[in-house]
Amino acid sequence: MLKPTDDQQFFPDHDQEQEEKNKRPVFIRILAFFTLLAFIGLVFLTTWPDLTLPSLDFLSRSKELSKDLPVNQLKQYVVQINVVSMPGRVIAGQKSGTGFNISPDGTIVTNRHVLSDAVSITVTFSGGKTYPAKSYKTSPDLDLALIYLNAEGLPAATVNTEKKAKVGDKVFIIGNPLGIGNVIMEGAISAFIRVSGCPAPVFVIDAPVHPGNSGSPVFDEDKKVVGVVFGSIHQKDDPDHSKQQGVAIPAGEILEFINGIS
């Protein structure tokens, strides 16, 4: 079993979520927005020849992958989670992440850190339907959580109980990185490692993840869930994180958590 090497660094928890704290009056935010637009326009005019957007390459690849109907149909199981949180503050903050449904009546798998300090949770499916959370439970040991909805007839993903993920397996990650819904990324499992604070081995995926990918399901070629993204790892000599890889909790740990609640 491997550990992150000396030239690698693991980023768990909030590094994979988006958080917005609404602490400024509306008129100030509006003024700042238009000022930013003007500044961006000036920068584009003066630096456009040298401008590159490598972080957006995954969007064009996602568009190509969406043409594969069986892969595209996996989007129906993936949800965006919006959380209002109050971590010891008077003013609430907002954050979002990803999850996936595994039950027709609404059982959403996501990460524990996505729901930290939550006072309100809503779940939105790819079709646009939004549900408030009825309740939720978190794992004391792993970065896992379940959100329960009051619904019926929801599309539900299948967790692979027949075979374990292994190095070399081709996989697909579907999530909401950078606030963009239902982005598909492909890659392969490159290693199993142990990280600090996680009692079970986790696997590394040779595919980029971004803020908002927390809770993204990892599907195998049989279109079954084999893991859930909860962090990233990248080389320490890669300061802009352009080569970071996803890290996921295996499906067996998800099932053990679910069975422990039942």
Domain ranges of the chain: 56-148, 169-259
Is 56-148's fold the same as 169-259's?
A: yes
H helix or E strand, kind and range, residue 225? strand 225-235
- 143 is annotated as an active-site residue: yes
The string of DSSP codes covering 148-209 is: E-S-SS---PPB--SS---TT-EEEEEE-GGG-SSEEEEEEEEEEE--TT-SS-EEEESS--
* Calpha distance 29→257 (Å, rounded): 42
- Start-to-end Cα distance in the chain: 31
Say which CATH topology domain 169-259 has: Thrombin, subunit H (2.40.10)
Mean pLDDT of 119-123: 96
Selection from 123, 205, 145, 196 nearest residue 170 by Cα: 205
Selecting among 96, 113, 210, 232, the annotated active-site residue is 113
**SS3 state at 24:** coil
**Those residues with Cβ within 8 angstroms of residue 83's Cβ, 6 or more apart along the chain or in another chain:** 94, 95, 96, 97, 114, 115, 118, 120, 121
Q: Hey, what are 40's tokens?
A: 């961006």
Catalytic residue among 85, 96, 139, 214: 214
pLDDT per position as a tens digit, 71-113: 999 999 999 999 998 766 666 788 899 999 999 999 999 999 9
Catalytic (active site) residue 113: yes
Decide if 242 is catalytic. Answer: no
- The label of the residue with tokens 């590159």 reads 52
List pLDDT tens digits, range 153-194. Answer: 999 999 999 989 999 999 999 999 988 889 999 999 999 999
Which CATH number does the domain 56-148 belong to among 2.40.10.10, 1.20.1440.230, 2.30.30.40, 1.10.540.10?
2.40.10.10
